[in-house]
Homo-oligomer: A and B are copies of this chain.
Amino acid sequence: MTIIYSAIVCALIAVVYGVITSFQVLRRSPGEERMRDIAAAIQEGAAAYLGRQYRTIAIVGVVVAAVLLLTLGWLSMIGFALGAILSGVAGYVGMNISVRANVRTAQAARDSLQGGLTVAFRSGAVTGMLVAGLGLLSIAVFFWYLTGPAGHAPNDREIIEALTALAFGASLISIFARLGGGIFTKAADVGADLVGKVEAGIPEDDPRNPATIADNVGDNVGDCAGMAADLFETYVVTLGLTMVSIALLVQASEAELLTLMGLPLIVGGVCILTSILGTYMVRLGAKQSIMGALYKGFWTAAIVAVPAIWFVTRWALGDMDAVIGGAGFLDGSDPMTIDSLRGAATTATTATTAAAGFTGMDLFWCMMIGLGVTGALVWITEYYTGTQYRPVRSIARSSETGHGTNVIQGLAVSLESTALPTIVIVVAVIAAYQLAGIIGIAFAATAMLALAGMVIALDAYGPVTDNAGGIAEMAGLPDDVRARTDALDAVGNTTKAVTKGYAIGSAALAALVLFGAYTTDLDRYSNALGLTGAVDFSLSNPYIIVGLLLGALLPYLFGAFGMTAVGRAAGSVVEDVRAQFSGDAGIMAGTSRPDYARTVDIVTRAAIREMIVPSLLPVLSPLVVFFLIAAVAGRANGFATLGAMLLGVIVSGLFVAISMTSGGGAWDNAKKYIEDGNYGGKGSEAHKAAVTGDTVGDPYKDTAGPAVNPMIKITNIVALLLLAALAGGTV
């Protein structure tokens, strides 16, 4: 229990850091009245959107909670509610600090680049630490309650189901928030650009454009609140499912299990501390490199995490070289031994010859693999989306020959950008598995997510600077202020892409763990599920192919829905703005103020309307597929198809998500590269082509692509909950 208490303390420190840093940010000057007015309009719009979004989600949430109560009992319902509510809180608080930091960043940028950077990054850090802190707090306190006051054994069915339900709550909110926010932000962005830049010929963020406030609201509800909910989900699912997989796979005494299940929590806790340390290292050096300043923070958090993780692992496990699965740790009284742990292979006919257990040192190396994957993904994403490397420059160059070649090259880059991350993930899977089986992969994923606070801080910084630029433009601040906010904003494209690559990369590892949990559960509940033998998960079972194909389809269909939704919602923005322009000639003349709130309201309605159906796709698909196939070919094949579907969705989703997020980032920065004066600079034909590419990349990188991550998790978690409900006989 000491481990869990320590983790709770770390989580509370994160929350305290968040509160203190919030006050630091809020103490800054919000600038002159014109700036405050604009910021207020953004705040108002964002609050209105988020309020309506949460009310809509609440309706779905209450239905789901009722279903969980009826099928899995009240503990699962509470877990679900906890995950859902805290996910919402993380997004809400993050957004609230973000919409207040934007104007303060603009004001601080009047004095210096460092000033703007500090305010923007600190506000991002608030979101980051709150997400990690609340995430850790929710799992740790819930686990403490279940194993302590409620008196459950750590591998009791109730705990496994409740932790899974907690993850489900977080995931369900996050897919709505990611998708709704993503549709809002890109509909506003694309709509504003189309009607402003293209039709009316006025610059971005021009106050005469009625959609410009909506565009700024979008940055906050999409890139901040949506992203925060997404990463909260990733954090909770990864840590929670690592614990669940330990409970399912490792056979040991209660005390030993409690220790092993506490390890992910304390690793998360200690990495919050290194992340907080990292946030204080974000400072411009002599070269005034903003990316360099952010990296200083990130690398500090990552490097200090190495000894910190070693220390807490040793503290928790005692002897780092004692074989877990050897004397004392695995009692060996159950068929579920280290053999099955190595493979979670319920149907494998091959004997794993080397049946040695894993040591604390093995787990430590697995976590180092996780940190290594994070570092590698950061580097790869920067390569594919940074203006100083070949991919972005090749898109910029191809803009010279027109819109078509820009898009072709962008698509080529987006396809190509999947290769290195896949190889990194494959190598990590092999290495972690060789060290400690499925549990090794789970710990690698946990270590990746342990740095979430820092990664989110880098990301949440983006929309703040983006808004700051908008406010500077609209309030008519001097050009050098705008230049500073633009410089701050440019690296935001890369950091945003980094977070998404990181989230989807960790999802690939987490999905393997989830699949392991699924097969183990199936095996365990074989009788309750009415199965006569093991389910055939062999690739030569055609139902496996069927499942893989159906799973692979989901990200495509989901992507299609997301892209279409943005197109439709952007269309309604265009119509509204055209109506405002033609209804009041004073708007273009600059004598009367456009009705910003009306546009915000229209995008809000459109985004909420458009988010529902795609969000339900991953919730309902596993159910439909299972019951259909079970009806046609029996329950065993139904479970086989469902299991294969879980892997199909990750195998295809990984590529769809990475290609969309990296490709979109590359298009965006190719435009920025041209705006920096290359290939003719702003206003040239190449620039127009690059704007097209940027527009295409927008829904790719900010709507469809990132929402694939929670989608993958939901599909997996719904399958796990379905199993539990079927085993309980309540379905």
State whether B512 touches A652 (Cβ < 8 A): no
State whether B419 touches A557 (Cβ < 8 A): yes
State whether A695 touches B426 (Cβ < 8 A): no
| A540 interface hit (Cβ, 8 Å) | yes
State whether B348 touches A415 (Cβ < 8 A): no
- Looking at the complex, which one of B351, B515, B560, B574 makes contact with A413 (CB distance below 8 Å)? B560
Residue from A403, A695, A699 whose CB has the most chain B CB atoms within 10 Å:
A403
Cβ distance A433 to chain B, nearest Cβ, rounded Å: 5
State whether A536 touches B348 (Cβ < 8 A): yes
State whether B557 touches A647 (Cβ < 8 A): no
Cβ distance A202 to chain B, nearest Cβ, rounded Å: 15
| A409 interface hit (Cβ, 8 Å) | yes
Residue from A404, A405, A566, A700 whose CB has the most chain B CB atoms within 10 Å:
A404
State whether B430 touches A692 (Cβ < 8 A): no
A422 contacts across to B, CB distance below 8 A:
549-550, 552-553
A700 contacts across to B, CB distance below 8 A:
411
A546 contacts across to B, CB distance below 8 A:
426, 429-430
Cβ distance A68 to chain B, nearest Cβ, rounded Å: 27
State whether A692 touches B347 (Cβ < 8 A): no
Q: Given A409-B564, A418-B553, A567-B405, is A434 in contact with B633 using a C-beta cutoff of 8 Å?
A: yes
Q: Given A194-B405, A407-B692, is A542 in contact with B441 using a C-beta cutoff of 8 Å?
A: yes
| A243 interface hit (Cβ, 8 Å) | no
| A597 interface hit (Cβ, 8 Å) | no
A542 contacts across to B, CB distance below 8 A:
343, 429-430, 433, 438, 441, 512
| A1 interface hit (Cβ, 8 Å) | no
Interface band, chain A: 35 or more
A402 to B196, CA, bound (A): 12
State whether A556 touches B648 (Cβ < 8 A): no
State whether A349 touches B533 (Cβ < 8 A): yes
Interface string of A386-424 (1 = CB under 8 A from B): 000000000000100111110111011101101100110
Q: Which of A556-598 contact B (CB under 8 A)?
A: 556-557, 559-560, 563-564, 566-567, 570-571, 574
State whether A636 touches B563 (Cβ < 8 A): no
State whether A567 touches B348 (Cβ < 8 A): no
Q: Given A349-B534, A549-B654, is A556 in contact with B415 using a C-beta cutoff of 8 Å?
A: yes
Cβ distance A72 to chain B, nearest Cβ, rounded Å: 24
Interface string of A58-73 (1 = CB under 8 A from B): 0000000000000000
| A86 interface hit (Cβ, 8 Å) | no
State whether A696 touches B537 (Cβ < 8 A): no
Cβ distance A408 to chain B, nearest Cβ, rounded Å: 5
Residue from A543, A545, A652, A659 whose CB has the most chain B CB atoms within 10 Å:
A545
Q: Which of A636-656 contact B (CB under 8 A)?
A: 636, 643-644, 647-648, 651-652, 654-655
- Looking at the complex, which one of B408, B556, B695 makes contact with A659 (CB distance below 8 Å)? B556
State whether A556 touches B429 (Cβ < 8 A): no
| A425 interface hit (Cβ, 8 Å) | yes
| A198 interface hit (Cβ, 8 Å) | yes
A644 to B545, CA, bound (A): 11
Q: Given A190-B405, A405-B190, A549-B654, is A430 in contact with B632 using a C-beta cutoff of 8 Å?
A: yes
| A538 interface hit (Cβ, 8 Å) | yes
| A723 interface hit (Cβ, 8 Å) | no
State whether B345 touches A538 (Cβ < 8 A): yes
A198 contacts across to B, CB distance below 8 A:
401-402
Interface string of A234-256 (1 = CB under 8 A from B): 00000000000000000000000
A447 contacts across to B, CB distance below 8 A:
none
State whether B571 touches A401 (Cβ < 8 A): yes
Cβ distance A494 to chain B, nearest Cβ, rounded Å: 20
State whether A537 touches B534 (Cβ < 8 A): no
A659 to B555, CA, bound (A): 13
Interface string of A189-225 (1 = CB under 8 A from B): 0100110001000000000000000000000000000
State whether B540 touches A348 (Cβ < 8 A): yes
A543 to B438, CA, bound (A): 12
| A228 interface hit (Cβ, 8 Å) | no
A418 to B648, CA, bound (A): 15
State whether A403 touches B401 (Cβ < 8 A): no
A566 contacts across to B, CB distance below 8 A:
408
State whether A538 touches B540 (Cβ < 8 A): no
Q: Which of A461-508 contact B (CB under 8 A)?
A: 508
Cβ distance A257 to chain B, nearest Cβ, rounded Å: 22
- Looking at the complex, which one of B350, B533, B647, B652 makes contact with A652 (CB distance below 8 Å)? B652
| A286 interface hit (Cβ, 8 Å) | no
| A327 interface hit (Cβ, 8 Å) | no
| A539 interface hit (Cβ, 8 Å) | yes
| A265 interface hit (Cβ, 8 Å) | no
| A544 interface hit (Cβ, 8 Å) | yes
- Looking at the complex, which one of B343, B402, B564, B695 makes contact with A541 (CB distance below 8 Å)? B343
Q: Which of A675-702 contact B (CB under 8 A)?
A: 691-692, 694-696, 699-700
State whether A539 touches B349 (Cβ < 8 A): no
Cβ distance A407 to chain B, nearest Cβ, rounded Å: 5
A700 to B349, CA, bound (A): 43
| A305 interface hit (Cβ, 8 Å) | no
A438 contacts across to B, CB distance below 8 A:
542
| A519 interface hit (Cβ, 8 Å) | yes
18 contacts between A and B (CB under 8 A): A190-B405, A194-B402, A343-B540, A345-B536, A347-B347, A347-B538, A398-B567, A401-B570, A411-B700, A416-B560, A422-B550, A430-B543, A508-B549, A516-B540, A538-B539, A545-B651, A549-B654, A552-B654
For the complex of A and B, list the 8 residue pairs with the smallest distance between their C-beta atoms, beginning with the closest.
A404-B695, A412-B563, A416-B560, A415-B560, A403-B692, A537-B539, A350-B536, A412-B564
Apart from A537-B539, A548-B548, what are 4 other A-B pairs with CB-CB below 8 Å?
A190-B405, A194-B405, A349-B534, A351-B533
